[in-house]
């Protein structure tokens, strides 16, 4: 069971408190110093790691971009164009049934150098044209590869034949579509470069390359002639060394720092710098920093697990390289990176242990010097508590707080002696005070019962006499105030009765007025409805008359059109009459001519017999035409008479319609005026009806207010009755007014009788 702080001795509590405070201070300061140091070291480690990773990223970016630019420059050089052109031409000039086998024999099989040093052979000594071209261009390509760190350089014809290889490995003199190279990185980059735009660099990421037995990347660009036509491609092979050299150029501790590349598929695109780590194109574990590299996110991690299972810090930097989708990852062993943090931690723990030991010794000695005077003062205090005033107070001459406390105790002892003497005097004064309290208690009890005649007549001691006099004067003032309250209650009762009677009378008159207004409003509403119906019907008649007027006007237009048509028919008949007269004249002239022809035929004798017959037929024809013209003329004359009659009748109908339109217009105007007047009257009645409704509403409100006033008067009477009952509980020695009862109970009964008589 733990001890409570209040039960522990100050001799133990004080040194313990000092030790705790000292330890807390030391631990807090040490923790702050350690935290600041740790944070500073971690920030420095992260900054240094990020700087190294950024330097590696920049070096790699510069190296790969330089390689791409170099490949583009090589493709654009005339030497490369001439080399491809000459190699392709001289292969056809090799005097051997199998030129490809011939080349492999002299540069691979019969090469006196080791497999990784075949590039040292410049001239195999066969004297062929291919060897002469090889002697010309091979040293240049060897120097280019040595300067730029290329693993190999290839020249490939448009047909896909590798006509030149720097290392003379299994891919030399092979077709990119053949069994040896099909599906390899070299074949893929060559096929893409053959169809690429001029000046373009095609890139193939690192993948296993069987002919070289390694994992390599390839850069290729088309080679053009002077006319801008492709004559082949140049390809360079990049090994892992070029990447490793760029990444590790700024690493100072390769045994505890690892830097490598990761592609989105989670494969390592460069081998581990630390021995025993992982190989090229190895599948990396699903660690947080590897996942960030796969997602191409920049991130820093304080605690990750490497592929070797070690704890490390890591930084991830996505790279912006054309053709390469990589992220750079740098891992630093945590034990090495934060070794200084661990040393500081051990130093802080040692400092805390030493501080605890020293604080315990110092606190114990200091506590003894403090608690010894306190114990002495405690003994003096206990003696004074037991009324032992002869005890000696030690430490009176000390100049510190304990001396002040001792002198205070000495003064306190003298005051205790004086206090005992004063206690005796206080006991005597208590007796007189008890008498005053008893008298006042009895008087207040009578006052609580409602007795206002309970005055104090027995005098008190001199310093309490003022209390008795004040009480008696207060009682007299209370009696006078209650008399005024009763008189005011009587006035309230009388006024409330008068107000109630007036309110009831007003409510009855207002109710009668409201009923009359309601009947008037109903009658006005019916009259308004009838006028509204009359106005609606007048509007309908007005609309009907307007429609009739429009139809009559339309009929008048039809009549005018008919008259115009009749006039045109009459004019046409007159023209026909003229034509018939002309036909009649023609028939008459024809008859005369026929008669003359007959006369002349008779004179001619037998020679004119035929002509006489013709003249006779012409006369008959003229006669029939004249008869037909006469008949047509008669019909035309009759038609003219009929048309004239029709024109006259149509004119009369038009005049009648015009008169009807004028009369309809007059009637329509009168109906419109009547409808407008009715509408105006209806609107006026609507306004009157609205005013009546508003007046009815106001009257209803007045009625409600009168009823509320009557109810308020009744409530006021009830409150006055309640007030009378309240003041009836008090007893006064004299009547409150002339002719009033001697007691409050009698006054309350008389007031209740008057209230019942009015009620």
Say what the pLDDT of residue 190 is.
95
Residue 745 has pLDDT above 60, yes or no: no
Give 1's pLDDT tier (boundaries 50, 70, 90): very low
| 670-683 per-position pLDDT tens digit | 777 777 776 777 77
Residue 758 has pLDDT above 60, yes or no: no
Bigger pLDDT: 44 vs 74? 74
Mean pLDDT confidence for 720-742:
60
Q: Name the one residue in this structure whose structure tokens are 């002469």.
A: 132
Cα four-point dihedral sign 193, 195, 201, 205: negative
Of the ranges 110-119, 187-196, 714-723, which one carries the lowest mean pLDDT score? 714-723
Say what the pLDDT of residue 202 is.
96
| 222-257 per-position pLDDT tens digit | 999 888 888 999 999 999 999 988 888 877 666 678
> Is 638 inside any structural domain?
yes
Of the ranges 251-255, 272-276, 484-488, which one carries the lowest mean pLDDT score? 251-255
Distance CA 261, CA 70 (A): 23
Distance CA 548, CA 278 (A): 109
Distance CA 679, CA 533 (A): 10
Check residue 176 and report its DSSP letter: T
- Max mean pLDDT among 75-79, 488-492, 550-554, 726-730 falls in 75-79
Q: What is the CATH number of the domain that holds 688?
A: 1.10.287.950
Say what the pLDDT of residue 255 is.
64
Contact 293, 304 (CB under 8 A): no
Other CB atoms within 10 Å distance of the CB of residue 312? 25
Distance CA 514, CA 194 (A): 110
Say what the pLDDT of residue 614 is.
76
Say what the pLDDT of residue 234 is.
96
Q: Where are the beta strands (DSSP E) in 230-322?
A: 230-238, 257-262, 299-305, 311-318
Distance CA 152, CA 139 (A): 13
* Residue 626: its H or E element: helix 609-727
Say what the pLDDT of residue 122 is.
94
> Is 324 inside any structural domain?
yes
Structure tokens at 21: 């405070």
Check residue 737 and report its DSSP letter: S
Distance CA 410, CA 430 (A): 30
Distance CA 288, CA 258 (A): 16
Residue 206 has pLDDT above 80, yes or no: yes
Contact 281, 264 (CB under 8 A): no
Residue 736 has pLDDT above 50, yes or no: no
Distance CA 81, CA 231 (A): 7
Say what the pLDDT of residue 637 is.
75
DSSP lists the bridge partners of residue 203 as 219
Say what the pLDDT of residue 438 is.
77
Mean pLDDT confidence for 28-39:
72
Give 41's pLDDT tier (boundaries 50, 70, 90): low
Give 274's pLDDT tier (boundaries 50, 70, 90): confident
| 346-393 per-position pLDDT tens digit | 777 777 777 777 767 776 666 666 666 666 666 667 776 666 666 667
Give 732's pLDDT tier (boundaries 50, 70, 90): low
Distance CA 173, CA 188 (A): 17
* Residue 221: its H or E element: strand 214-224
Counted residue by residue, the chain has a size of 759
Q: Beta strands 214-224 and 202-209: pairing type?
A: antiparallel
> Is 593 inside any structural domain?
yes
Q: What is the CATH number of the domain that holds 74?
A: 3.30.450.20
Structure tokens at 233: 């491609």
| 113-155 per-position pLDDT tens digit | 998 899 999 999 988 999 999 999 999 999 999 999 999 999 9
Express as a percent the part of the chain with pLDDT over 70: 83
> Is 474 inside any structural domain?
no
Overall number of domains in the chain: 2
Mean pLDDT confidence for 208-218:
94
Structure tokens at 272: 């581990």
> Is 44 inside any structural domain?
no
Q: Report how far apart, in Å, the C-alpha atoms of 320 and of each of 217, 297, 677, 695, 725 are.
A: 17, 12, 92, 90, 102
Say what the pLDDT of residue 192 is.
94
Residue 648: give the domain boundaries. 512-699
> Is 664 inside any structural domain?
yes
Cα four-point dihedral sign 402, 408, 414, 417: negative
Say what the pLDDT of residue 702 is.
75
- Domain boundary (660, 682, 699) is at 699
Give 14's pLDDT tier (boundaries 50, 70, 90): low
Residue 342 has pLDDT above 70, yes or no: no
Structure tokens at 197: 């735009």
Distance CA 725, CA 672 (A): 79
Mean pLDDT confidence for 11-21:
68
Bigger pLDDT: 593 vs 336? 593
- Torsion, Cα 5 9 11 12, to 10 degrees, reads -50
- Helix (H), strand (E) counts: the chain: 13, 9
Q: Report how far apart, in Å, the C-alpha atoms of 434 and of each of 316, 431, 468, 520 are.
A: 94, 5, 14, 84
- Max mean pLDDT among 47-56, 68-77, 415-424, 695-704 falls in 68-77
Mean pLDDT confidence for 167-190:
93
Mean pLDDT confidence for 429-449:
75
- Domain boundary (311, 334, 357) is at 334
> Is 445 inside any structural domain?
no
- Domain boundary (334, 356, 389) is at 334
- As a whole number, the mean pLDDT across the chain is 79
Say what the pLDDT of residue 442 is.
76
DSSP lists the bridge partners of residue 237 as 152, 218
User: Cβ contacts of residue 545 below 8 Å, gap of 6+?
Assistant: 664, 667, 668, 671
Contact 164, 83 (CB under 8 A): yes
Give 582's pLDDT tier (boundaries 50, 70, 90): confident
User: Cβ contacts of residue 433 below 8 Å, gap of 6+?
Assistant: 464
Give 85's pLDDT tier (boundaries 50, 70, 90): very high
* Residue 152: its H or E element: strand 152-156
pTM of the model: 0.46
> Is 684 inside any structural domain?
yes
């Amino acid at each position: 069971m733990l001890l409570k702080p209040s039960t522990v001795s100050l001799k133990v509590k004080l040194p313990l408190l000092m030790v705790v405070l000292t330890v807390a201070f030391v631990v807090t300061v040490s923790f702050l110093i350690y935290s600041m140091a740790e944070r500073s070291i971690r920030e420095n480690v992260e900054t240094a790691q990020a700087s190294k990773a950024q330097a590696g990223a920049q070096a790699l970016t510069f190296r790969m971009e330089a390689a791409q630019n170099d490949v583009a420059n090589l493709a654009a050089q005339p030497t490369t164009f001439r080399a491809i052109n000459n190699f392709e031409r001289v292969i056809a000039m090799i005097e051997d049934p199998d030129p490809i086998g011939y080349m492999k024999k002299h540069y691979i099989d019969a090469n006196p150098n080791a497999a990784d040093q075949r590039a040292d052979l410049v001239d195999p000594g066969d004297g062929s044209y291919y060897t002469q071209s090889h002697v010309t261009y091979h040293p240049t390509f060897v120097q280019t590869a040595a300067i730029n760190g290329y693993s190999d350089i290839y020249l490939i014809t448009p047909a896909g034949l590798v006509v030149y290889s720097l290392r003379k490995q299994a891919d030399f003199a092979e077709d990119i579509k053949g069994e040896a190279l099909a599906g390899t990185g070299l074949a893929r980059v060559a096929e893409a470069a053959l169809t690429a735009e001029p000046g373009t660099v095609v890139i193939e990421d690192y993948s296993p390359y069987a002919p070289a037995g390694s994992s390599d990347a390839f850069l290729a660009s088309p080679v053009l002639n002077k006319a801008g036509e492709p004559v082949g491609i140049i390809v360079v092979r990049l090994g892992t060394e070029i990447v490793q050299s760029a990444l590790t150029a700024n690493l100072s501790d390769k045994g505890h720092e690892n830097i490598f590349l990761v592609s989105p598929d989670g494969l390592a695109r460069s081998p581990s710098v630390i021995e025993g780590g992982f190989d090229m194109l190895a599948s990396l574990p699903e660690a947080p920093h590897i996942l960030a590299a796969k997602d191409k996110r920049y991130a820093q991690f304080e605690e990750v697990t490497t592929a070797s299972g070690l704890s490390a810090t890591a930084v991830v930097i996505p790279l912006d390289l054309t053709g390469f989708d990589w992220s750079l990852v740098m891992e630093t062993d945590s034990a090495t990176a934060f070794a200084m943090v661990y040393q500081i931690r051990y130093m802080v723990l040692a400092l805390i242990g030493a501080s605890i030991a020293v604080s315990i010794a110092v606190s114990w000695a200091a506590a003894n010097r403090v608690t010894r005077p306190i114990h002495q003062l405690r003994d003096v205090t206990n003696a004074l508590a037991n009324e032992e005033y002869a005890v000696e107070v030690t430490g009176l001459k000390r100049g510190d707080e304990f001396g002040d406390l001792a002198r205070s105790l000495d003064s306190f002892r003298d005051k205790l002696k004086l206090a005992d003497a004063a206690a005796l005097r206080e006991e005597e004064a208590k007796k007189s005070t008890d008498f005053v309290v008893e008298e006042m208690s009895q008087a207040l009890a009578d006052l609580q019962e409602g007795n206002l005649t309970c005055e104090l007549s027995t005098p008190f001691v001199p310093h309490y006499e003022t209390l008795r006099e004040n009480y008696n004067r207060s009682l007299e003032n209370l009696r006078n105030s209650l008399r005024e309250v009763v008189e005011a209650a009587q006035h309230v009762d009388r006024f409330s009765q008068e107000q109630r009677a007036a309110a009831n009378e007003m409510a009855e008159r207002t109710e009668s007025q409201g009923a009359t207004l309601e009947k008037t409003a109903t009658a006005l509403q019916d009259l308004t409805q009838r006028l509204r119906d009359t106005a609606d019907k007048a509007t309908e008649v007005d609309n009907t008359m307007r429609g009739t007027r429009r139809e009559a006007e339309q009929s008048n237009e039809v009549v005018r059109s008919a008259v115009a048509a009749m006039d045109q028919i009459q004019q046409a008949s007159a023209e026909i009459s003229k034509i018939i007269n002309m036909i009649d004249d023609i028939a008459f002239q024809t008859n005369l001519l026929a008669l003359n022809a007959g006369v002349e035929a008779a004179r001619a004798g037998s020679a004119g017999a035929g002509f006489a017959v013709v003249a006779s037929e012409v006369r008959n024809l003229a006669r029939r035409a004249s008869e037909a013209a006469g008949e047509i003329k008669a019909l035309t004359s009759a038609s003219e008479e009929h048309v004239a009659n029709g024109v006259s009748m149509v004119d009369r109908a038009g005049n009648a319609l015009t008169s009807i339109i004028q009369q309809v217009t007059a009637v329509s105007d009168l109906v419109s005026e009547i409808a407008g007047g009715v509408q105006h009257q209806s609107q006026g009645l609507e306004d009157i009806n609205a005013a009546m409704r508003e007046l009815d509403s106001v009257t209803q409100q007045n009625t409600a207010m009168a009823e509320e006033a009557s109810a308020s008067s009744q409530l006021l009477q009830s409150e006055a009755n309640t007030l009378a009952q309240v003041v009836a509980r008090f007893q006064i020695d004299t009547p409150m007014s002339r002719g009033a009862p001697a007691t409050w109970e009698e006054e309350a009964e008389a007031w209740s009788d008057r209230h019942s008589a009015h009620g």
